[in-house]
Structure 1
Amino acid sequence: MKSYKGRGVVLHTLKYGDSSLVAYLLTDVGGRRSYMVQGVRSRSGRGSKLALFQPMFPVEFEGLESSKQQMHRFREVRAAFPLQGLPFDVRKSTMALFMAEVLYRLVRESEPNEPLFDFVWGCVGALDAMQEGVANFHLWFLAHLSRFLGFCPGNDYVPGAWFDIREGLYTPVQPAHTGVMSRECSAILRDLMACDVRLLSDIGLNRSQRVEFLNAMLVYFGYHLDAISAVQSVRILREVF
């Protein structure tokens, strides 16, 4: 077996047998990869790795690759850095669940994508440390994720513009078709794209605005990637935020 070292962010897990699971990670060394994790549920409760494999948890590992096995394995895996807020704040853990599911559904490539990985890795640390503006984080995440998936806005915003979802452009004239964001959502998209994640609390949105913008972004993503429709955690987000 060939060994290698890497970092990863947990996207999804599936129970396998009585004591094992399959973990899907976004990694720096190979894009999205699946790993067989054996003995993750120890009967004694000691030495369990289960706590490592929660949505969006960052890990460092030594992996094992075999030409005879489809899934990779871990020789060693550990938390990459201590999380201070994400596991204990229901708002942050809810967002982590949503972000992980979006990435699991949309990112399929098994090739290294350093810019995407660095963005996702940075999002984990930013969300964990955030004190104010948490309610806007998932919206900021979606807006900036569009950059790495290849369909971010292709021109500059002008006041009063609509955002044409089909063309990926801001336009001063409302398109005749229905694939368009409202003026308010278009302005929010501009604000989020321009905003430093540490200043998210400066974007004052109420609950109805967040829901409307989230719905608009799901339409936008859905126009380019059908898999977004399978994301189930959207319902929880709408209830919490």
Structure 2
Amino acid sequence: MLHKTKGIVLRTIKYGETSVICSVFTELLGLQSYMIKGVRTTKSRTSKANLLFSSSMLDMVVYLQPQKNLQLVKEFQAAYLYRTMQEHVAKNGVAVFAMEILMQLIADHDPAPELFAFTEGFLKQLDARPVQDIANFPLFFLIQAGRLAGYHLSGNYTPDTPYADLHEGRYTASLSILPPFIEGAEADTISRLNAAPDLDTIVGIRLSNTERRQALDHFITFLQLHVAHFRELKSLPVLTAILY
């Protein structure tokens, strides 16, 4: 059966002499793996293989055979052409990090339209914003994508709940018995980041590079504790070297 859907490429692997296998987060069909044949037949800059990079946004016509793990693509074209993303190492690093997070959060073949819409908007904002605004973007994506996938640190930093317990997944009145032990100014920072409703708000939260990296580590640890089979992020060392 044929379907028309938007898609965001998460990962591309070369296959054979002319083909690729792409992991694509589709709006209609969730996470799918596609064999795309014959796209590497030319070295021309106009080759359609050039559209199949991590974070590229596509309009697709795809086949769906539910009994198969690897699907086929009838046709595809760019749904959005980035203006600055591929020119800026920092922006590209954030995008690759975001795509790796999605690979860990999305269940195969399970549509997640809210998460798709959020990711689409996030990537367009990442492309449009000046590079000096993006230092907190990885934190925003990590927090909001996790929330939309069902993983959320609940509560807030208050005099009655001054401790962030990542194992319990909430703010508590007493310090966790297991590390990391998050309290004081650090717990307040995590709370403000966690409560930021949009990119404008989170961009306005001023942090040192050390504070930013610690917060990123804490939110990654939270997902590792609660998402089954959450693996080590290969993009993290590159991201931190670029931004922090």
Q: TM-score, normalised by structure 2?
A: 0.90
Cα pair 2:14 2:21 within 8 Å, conserved: yes
- Report the more deviating stretch, 89-98 or 121-130: 121-130
- For 1:107 and 1:181, how far apart are their aligned partners in 2? 28
| Superposed displacement of residue 156, structure 1 | 3.2
Aligned residue type for 1:29: L
Deviations 1:42-88 (A, max 9, x none): 23526412221111111111112346754222222111122112111
In 1: Cα distance, 2:230 partner to 2:207 partner: 24
- Whether the aligned pair in 1 keeps the contact of 2:62 and 2:73 (CA below 8 Å) is yes
Q: How many residues are matched?
A: 240
Show the counterpart of 1:4.
3
Write the distance in 2 (CA, Å) between the matches of 1:43 and 1:136. 39
Structure 2, unaligned runs of 5 or more:
none
Q: How does 1:198-217 map to 2 (within 5 A)?
A: 198-217=200-219
Distance (Å, rounded) in 2 between the aligned partners of 1:167 and 1:91: 33
What is the 5 A alignment of 1:33-72? 33-45=32-44, 47-66=46-65, 70-72=69-71
The 8 Å contact of residues 10 and 103 in structure 2, kept in 1 or not, is answered as yes
Q: Distance in 1 between matches of 2:138 and 2:73?
A: 31
Q: Which residue of structure 1 aligns with residue 231 of structure 2?
A: 229
Secondary structure of 1:22's counterpart equals: strand
Percent identity among equivalent residues? 27
Q: Does 1:162 align with 2:163?
A: yes
Distance in 2, Cα, partners of 1:167 & 1:69? 38
- d(CA) in 1 for partners of 2:231, 2:42: 38
Q: What is the rounded CA distance, in whole Å, between the counterparts of 1:84 and 1:21 in structure 2?
A: 25
Task: Say what the alpha-carbon RMSD is for the aligned residues.
Answer: 2.0
- CA separation in 2, counterparts of 1:180 and 1:107? 29
C-alpha displacement at 1:202, in angstroms?
Answer: 1.1
Q: Which residue of 2 aligns with 1:190?
A: 191
Corresponding residue for 1:171?
Answer: 172
Corresponding residue for 1:145? 145
- SS class of match (2:108): coil
The structure-2 alpha-carbon separation of the partners of 1:227 and 1:52, relative to structure 1 and needing over 3 Å to count, comes to farther
Q: Which segment drifts farther, 151-160 or 47-56?
A: 151-160
Deviation track 1:113-152 (CA, whole Å, cap 9, x = no partner) reads: 1111111112111211122420110011111122122221
Tell me the distance in 1 between the aligned counterparts of 2:66 and 2:101.
30
In 2, the alpha carbon distance for the partners of 1:43 and 1:55 equals: 20
Q: Distance in 2 between matches of 1:151 and 1:23?
A: 26
1 CA distance for matches of 2:186 and 2:121? Answer: 25
Where 1:108 maps in the other structure, the secondary structure is coil
Contact 2:104 2:231 in 1 (8 A): no
> Aligned pair in 2 of structure 1 residues 177, 68: CA closer, same or farther (>3 Å)?
closer
Segment drifting more, 165-174 vs 148-157: 148-157
Give the aligned partner of residue 239 of structure 1: 241
Separation (CA, whole Å) in 1 of partners of 2:154 and 2:68: 42
In the alignment, is the contact (CA less than 8 A) between 1:158 and 1:172 conserved in 2?
no
Q: CA offsets per residue over residues 1-20 of structure 1, 9 Å max, x none?
A: x2110011111111100111
Q: Deviations over 1:171-197 (max 9, x none)?
A: 243222224434334323322233321
**1-side partners of 2:228 and 2:215: how far apart?**
18
Please state how far the C-alpha of 1:205 moved relative to its aligned partner. Answer: 1.2
Choose 63-72 or 185-194, whichever is displaced more: 63-72
Asked if the contact 1:166/1:179 (under 8 Å) is kept, the reply is: no
Residues 61 and 76 of structure 2 are in contact (CA less than 8 Å); yes or no, is this contact kept in structure 1? yes
TM-score by length of 1: 0.91
Query: Greater CA deviation, 169-178 or 83-92?
Result: 169-178
